[in-house]
Amino acid sequence: MNALRKTLVLTLLSGSLFSPIMAHAVQKFGYVNPTRVYTETQTAQRIESSLQQEFSTQRQQLQNLEQQGIALQKQLQTGKLSSKERKQTEEKLIGLSRQYRIMATQLGEEYALRRNEEFAALQQNANNVIKDIAEQEQYDLIVQEVVFVSRHYDITDRVIQRLDAMQ
Protein backbone atom coordinates (compact mmCIF):
# COMPACT_ATOMS: atom_id res chain seq x y z
CA MET A 1 0.00 0.00 0.00
CA ASN A 2 1.49 3.31 -0.96
CA ALA A 3 2.05 6.15 1.47
CA LEU A 4 -0.85 8.23 0.14
CA ARG A 5 -3.35 5.39 0.70
CA LYS A 6 -1.99 4.78 4.19
CA THR A 7 -2.29 8.46 5.03
CA LEU A 8 -5.84 8.56 3.68
CA VAL A 9 -6.86 5.48 5.68
CA LEU A 10 -5.25 6.81 8.86
CA THR A 11 -6.92 10.18 8.35
CA LEU A 12 -10.29 8.54 7.85
CA LEU A 13 -9.82 6.27 10.84
CA SER A 14 -8.52 8.92 13.20
CA GLY A 15 -10.83 11.73 12.17
CA SER A 16 -14.18 10.78 10.83
CA LEU A 17 -14.48 7.13 11.80
CA PHE A 18 -14.33 7.75 15.49
CA SER A 19 -16.51 10.81 15.50
CA PRO A 20 -19.82 10.08 17.28
CA ILE A 21 -21.81 10.12 14.04
CA MET A 22 -19.47 7.76 12.17
CA ALA A 23 -18.99 5.46 15.15
CA HIS A 24 -22.72 4.91 15.21
CA ALA A 25 -22.83 4.31 11.42
CA VAL A 26 -20.08 1.65 11.39
CA GLN A 27 -21.55 -1.51 12.80
CA LYS A 28 -19.30 -4.29 11.57
CA PHE A 29 -15.52 -4.15 11.25
CA GLY A 30 -13.03 -6.51 9.65
CA TYR A 31 -9.29 -6.73 9.35
CA VAL A 32 -7.17 -8.68 6.84
CA ASN A 33 -3.45 -9.25 7.37
CA PRO A 34 -1.96 -8.91 3.86
CA THR A 35 1.38 -10.40 4.93
CA ARG A 36 -0.34 -13.63 5.89
CA VAL A 37 -2.32 -13.66 2.65
CA TYR A 38 0.94 -13.29 0.68
CA THR A 39 2.74 -16.03 2.61
CA GLU A 40 0.16 -18.59 3.75
CA THR A 41 -2.06 -19.08 0.72
CA GLN A 42 -1.40 -21.97 -1.62
CA THR A 43 -1.12 -19.52 -4.51
CA ALA A 44 1.58 -17.50 -2.72
CA GLN A 45 3.53 -20.63 -1.91
CA ARG A 46 3.23 -21.82 -5.53
CA ILE A 47 4.43 -18.42 -6.78
CA GLU A 48 7.46 -18.47 -4.46
CA SER A 49 8.34 -22.03 -5.50
CA SER A 50 8.00 -21.15 -9.17
CA LEU A 51 10.19 -18.07 -8.78
CA GLN A 52 12.83 -20.06 -6.92
CA GLN A 53 12.98 -22.50 -9.83
CA GLU A 54 12.95 -19.74 -12.44
CA PHE A 55 15.90 -17.95 -10.85
CA SER A 56 17.84 -20.98 -9.65
CA THR A 57 20.33 -20.87 -12.55
CA GLN A 58 21.19 -17.22 -11.92
CA ARG A 59 21.52 -17.86 -8.19
CA GLN A 60 23.83 -20.78 -8.89
CA GLN A 61 25.97 -18.60 -11.17
CA LEU A 62 26.15 -15.98 -8.44
CA GLN A 63 27.15 -18.61 -5.93
CA ASN A 64 29.87 -19.86 -8.29
CA LEU A 65 31.27 -16.32 -8.58
CA GLU A 66 31.27 -16.07 -4.80
CA GLN A 67 33.19 -19.34 -4.49
CA GLN A 68 35.73 -18.16 -7.07
CA GLY A 69 36.22 -14.99 -5.08
CA ILE A 70 36.76 -16.93 -1.87
CA ALA A 71 39.33 -19.13 -3.61
CA LEU A 72 41.20 -16.05 -4.88
CA GLN A 73 41.17 -14.50 -1.40
CA LYS A 74 42.64 -17.68 0.05
CA GLN A 75 45.39 -17.60 -2.58
CA LEU A 76 46.21 -14.04 -1.61
CA GLN A 77 46.27 -14.90 2.10
CA THR A 78 48.73 -17.74 1.70
CA GLY A 79 51.55 -15.31 0.94
CA LYS A 80 53.11 -17.83 -1.45
CA LEU A 81 52.53 -15.73 -4.59
CA SER A 82 55.21 -13.72 -6.31
CA SER A 83 54.56 -9.99 -6.57
CA LYS A 84 53.50 -10.40 -10.22
CA GLU A 85 51.12 -13.28 -9.36
CA ARG A 86 49.78 -11.33 -6.40
CA LYS A 87 49.01 -8.30 -8.58
CA GLN A 88 47.28 -10.49 -11.21
CA THR A 89 45.25 -12.26 -8.53
CA GLU A 90 44.22 -8.96 -6.94
CA GLU A 91 43.13 -7.59 -10.34
CA LYS A 92 41.22 -10.80 -11.02
CA LEU A 93 39.53 -10.52 -7.61
CA ILE A 94 38.55 -6.89 -8.24
CA GLY A 95 37.03 -7.84 -11.62
CA LEU A 96 35.23 -10.80 -10.10
CA SER A 97 33.90 -8.61 -7.29
CA ARG A 98 32.58 -6.07 -9.80
CA GLN A 99 30.98 -8.83 -11.87
CA TYR A 100 29.38 -10.27 -8.72
CA ARG A 101 27.88 -6.93 -7.68
CA ILE A 102 26.44 -6.30 -11.15
CA MET A 103 24.99 -9.80 -11.38
CA ALA A 104 23.55 -9.62 -7.85
CA THR A 105 21.91 -6.27 -8.57
CA GLN A 106 20.41 -7.52 -11.84
CA LEU A 107 19.16 -10.69 -10.19
CA GLY A 108 17.57 -8.74 -7.37
CA GLU A 109 15.83 -6.36 -9.76
CA GLU A 110 14.59 -9.11 -12.08
CA TYR A 111 13.37 -11.21 -9.16
CA ALA A 112 11.52 -8.28 -7.60
CA LEU A 113 9.88 -7.39 -10.92
CA ARG A 114 8.71 -10.95 -11.56
CA ARG A 115 7.53 -11.34 -7.98
CA ASN A 116 5.50 -8.14 -8.20
CA GLU A 117 3.96 -9.30 -11.48
CA GLU A 118 2.98 -12.65 -10.01
CA PHE A 119 1.63 -11.25 -6.76
CA ALA A 120 -0.48 -8.61 -8.54
CA ALA A 121 -2.93 -11.33 -9.60
CA LEU A 122 -3.02 -12.73 -6.07
CA GLN A 123 -3.69 -9.26 -4.70
CA GLN A 124 -6.56 -8.77 -7.15
CA ASN A 125 -8.06 -12.13 -6.21
CA ALA A 126 -7.66 -11.35 -2.51
CA ASN A 127 -9.40 -7.99 -2.96
CA ASN A 128 -12.28 -9.71 -4.77
CA VAL A 129 -12.61 -12.28 -1.97
CA ILE A 130 -12.54 -9.51 0.65
CA LYS A 131 -15.26 -7.61 -1.23
CA ASP A 132 -17.35 -10.78 -1.46
CA ILE A 133 -17.01 -11.43 2.27
CA ALA A 134 -17.88 -7.79 2.99
CA GLU A 135 -21.02 -7.98 0.88
CA GLN A 136 -22.14 -11.44 2.02
CA GLU A 137 -21.54 -10.81 5.71
CA GLN A 138 -22.54 -7.13 5.60
CA TYR A 139 -19.33 -5.56 6.80
CA ASP A 140 -19.26 -1.79 6.96
CA LEU A 141 -15.47 -1.54 6.95
CA ILE A 142 -12.57 -3.90 6.27
CA VAL A 143 -9.01 -2.61 6.62
CA GLN A 144 -5.66 -4.15 5.78
CA GLU A 145 -3.06 -1.88 7.35
CA VAL A 146 -3.33 -1.09 11.04
CA VAL A 147 -1.01 -0.65 13.99
CA PHE A 148 -3.08 -2.83 16.28
CA VAL A 149 -6.29 -4.81 15.93
CA SER A 150 -8.06 -7.25 18.20
CA ARG A 151 -8.26 -10.85 16.97
CA HIS A 152 -12.01 -10.45 17.17
CA TYR A 153 -11.94 -8.41 13.93
CA ASP A 154 -9.38 -10.53 12.04
CA ILE A 155 -10.95 -12.29 9.05
CA THR A 156 -7.63 -13.27 7.43
CA ASP A 157 -8.22 -17.01 7.92
CA ARG A 158 -11.49 -16.84 5.99
CA VAL A 159 -9.83 -14.92 3.14
CA ILE A 160 -7.01 -17.50 2.96
CA GLN A 161 -9.50 -20.39 2.98
CA ARG A 162 -11.51 -18.87 0.13
CA LEU A 163 -8.40 -18.10 -1.91
CA ASP A 164 -7.17 -21.67 -1.43
CA ALA A 165 -10.58 -23.00 -2.46
CA MET A 166 -10.24 -21.13 -5.75
CA GLN A 167 -7.30 -23.39 -6.75
The string of pLDDT tens digits covering residues 24-75 is: 566 899 999 999 999 999 999 999 999 999 999 999 999 999 999 999 999 8
pLDDT score at 13:
52
Kindly report whether the global pTM for this prediction surpasses the value 0.75: no
User: What DSSP letter does each residue of 128-165 carry, written as one string?
Assistant: HHHHHHHHHTT-SEEES--S---GGGB-HHHHHHHHHH
User: For 90-107, how does the pLDDT look when each residue is reduced to its tens digit (9 = 90+)?
Assistant: 999 999 999 999 999 999
User: Rounded mean pLDDT of the chain?
Assistant: 87
Is residue 121 very low, low, confident or very high in pLDDT (cuts 50, 70, 90)?
A: very high
Task: Note the pLDDT tens digit of each residue in 61-93.
Answer: 999 999 999 999 998 888 888 889 889 999 999
Distance separating alpha carbons of residues 64 and 66, to the nearest angstrom: 5
In the chain, what are the helix, strand and coil shares in percent, each to the nearest 5?
80, 5, 15
